[in-house]
Amino acid sequence: MERLVERDRPSLEFSLDGAPATAREGDTILTAVLTLRRHLAEPRLGDGPRAGFCLMGACQECWVGVDGLPVRACGTLISAGMRVATDRRSPSG
Amino acid sequence: MADPTIAVIGAGPAGIRATEALAQHRLPVIVIDEAPKGGGQIYRQPPDAFRRSPSLRYGFEANKARALHTTIERLASAIDYRPSTLAWNVWDRQLDTLRAGKTEKVPFDFLVIATGATDRVLPVPGWTLPGVYTLGGAQIALKYQGCAIGHHTVFLGTGPLLYLVAYQYAKAGATVKAVLDVNAAAAKRRALPALAWSPSMLAKGLYYRAWLGAHGVVVEDGVTPIVIHGNGGVSELTYRRAGVETTLRCDAIGLGFGLKAETQLADLAGCRFRFDRESRQWLPERNADGESTISGVYVAGDGAGIGGADAAELWGERVGLAIAARCGRPRDTTRIATIDRQLARLAHLREGLERAFPFPSQHVSTIRADTILCRCESIRIGDAMAAIRVFDVIEMNRMKAVTRVGMGRCQGRMCSAAAAELLATESRQDVAAVGRLRAQPPVKPIPLPWSSPR
């Protein structure tokens, strides 16, 4: 994902699989993660990483853990201090 | 008589106009919408931190978007508006809803199902790589998040949205490598007479295409996608046109072949469905008032059959007026006649669009056997075909049982269009004869644990 317009929104800090990370206010979790790296979820069925697909809550490919609970990354806004887990082995997931 | 309970599912163009018509007749309405703000997918409003003007965000449609947003904001205090709420089941004239981790039952006398649509997608080898998104998803990335799906994007598939999204991307400063339409130019020429029913729509379509060409974007018709390459993400797309294979370097692909109605709740409500030849999909039956075969259950907008946002607004209002009349309010016959005339004109336009951008069903049986068909369960086309042969499968739900295609978390939203075409080819039947997947509650996964109702 490439930030194209309205890039000057205030930044906020969250944690991604235990490591500190920076997002912008108004980012979904999906945007926050995919502007930092190319994939969202670790391989589940061994056929390569996934990065969401429909961005409108239909395909169900972007479920991640937030503070221990499952959410859809495309429909959930990031907030400061959120602990986002995309790796099942991560302690915060 | 006490006023009946009316529930509207969806706050897109159809849901908002239905609600407005009902509220004007002082009828109480409960509006249940999955999104935090009204507008639906087409007029999706960005989070608060975004401040770009509607004209930049929605282009030619900015006034329509703004009008709908203002309407739902104005109505919000007069109705029972429940945003960020999922309706996940319909049973015995009650909805099951989920909001902020709490389930609640919503009994209703009248129901308007205005659940919209999602992209209709087809498998392409490599389409599960990071960087491949639906066309609608690519558009949402831009209008809802100010992002492009990649630095070098290709738009692949067919339909008016293909050109619109490519134009919006290029206009916002993204690099669009190519727009590749699987349908031939001849199909669009044949459709011209029907498209002329809406000169403004036709003009917009031609404008987007001309603009892209003038700005150096490769725009090609009659394309066959071959394979998406990449390791950990998209790096190349190979396609064939007029016998020549071309490989483009790109890091993102927007993929879509028209739209598919979200009909799961209508199915759970018990509505009878019919196979619509023109759009090649199963749709709930409805009468001139928009009422389904279940009394009091109405369907409107793209969730009742793809007609576009303008038709959705009209159908929403039409359904609202019909329900108001059922509730003892005077039937506004003048307005109804006007709406019906406009809808008839838009139906002609729709015919033209279906002719210009038909679903490329003939392409499905030529997709490589090692291509993933079901993204949820990573089931490949060849494996599904083998199971169909071994078990002599002739029907979609049986196919789901023996292959797990359609059994994953998306419940077939992303694979069923292709799966139906493959099953029809393999079992030598018409695609209508293989049937459709039955909807299952919850229509979308519900995180556990949620708290029980009080």
Share of chain B above pLDDT 70, in %: 98
Nearest residue of chain B to residue A40 (CA atoms): B130
pLDDT at B281 over 90: yes
Query: How far is the C-alpha of B324 from the C-alpha of B297, rounded, in Å?
Result: 13
Asked whether residue A3 is assigned to any structural domain, the reply reads no
Q: Which long-range contacts (CB under 8 A, 24 or more apart) does A62-71 make?
A: A62/A30, A63/B409, A63/B445, A64/A29, A64/A33, A64/A40, A65/A90, A65/A92, A65/A93, A66/A29, A67/A92, A68/A92, A68/A93, A69/B447, A70/B447, A71/A29, A71/B447
Q: What is the pTM of this model?
A: 0.96
Higher model confidence: residue B348 or residue B292? Answer: B292
Chains A–B, number of C-beta pairs less than 8 Å apart: 137
Give the lowest-confidence range in B52-66, B134-148, B289-303. B52-66
pLDDT score, position B276: 97
What pLDDT is recorded for position A88?
65
Residue B197 has pLDDT above 80, yes or no: no
Domains of chain B: 6-117+260-331 (3.50.50.60), 121-257 (3.50.50.60), 365-434 (1.10.10)
* Average pLDDT rounded to a whole number, residues B278-301: 97
Residue B259 has pLDDT above 90, yes or no: yes
Provide the angle, in degrees to the nearest 10, between the axes of the packed helices B381-390 and B416-426.
50
A68 against B416, higher pLDDT: B416
Residue B382, phi then psi, degrees to nearest 5: -60, -40
Positions of chain A with pLDDT under 50: 90-93
- pLDDT at residue number A90: 45
Contact residues for B99 (Cβ-Cβ < 8 A; gap 6+): B82, B84, B85, B86
Contact by Cβ (8 Å): B114, B12: yes
Residue A4, domain member (yes or no): no
Structurally, how many domains does chain A consist of? 1
Task: Please report whether residue A68 resides in a domain.
Answer: yes
Q: Say what the pLDDT of residue B449 is.
A: 62
> Which range among B5-19, B163-177, B196-210 shows the weakest confidence by mean pLDDT?
B196-210
B377 vs A70: CB contact, 8 Å cut-off?
Answer: no
Note whether B145 contacts A28, CB cutoff 8 Å. Answer: yes
User: Quick check: ipTM above 0.90?
Assistant: yes
pLDDT at B169 over 50: yes
Asked, for residue A90, whether it belongs to a domain, the answer is no
The answer to whether B27 and B6 are in contact (CB under 8 A) is yes
What CATH number is given to the structural domain containing A45? 3.10.20.740
What is the average per-residue pLDDT within B371-391? 96
Residue A38 lies in a domain: yes
Distance from CA of B315 to the nearest CA of A (A): 23
Contacts of residue B102 in chain A, CB cutoff 8 Å? none
Q: How far is CA B306 from CA A72, B124, B346, B349, B415, in A?
A: 26, 24, 11, 12, 18
pLDDT, tens only, B82-108: 999 999 999 999 999 999 889 999 999
Q: Is A80 on the interface with B (CB under 8 A)?
A: no
| Whether A53 contacts B414, CB under 8 Å | yes
Structural domain span for residue A23 = 11-85
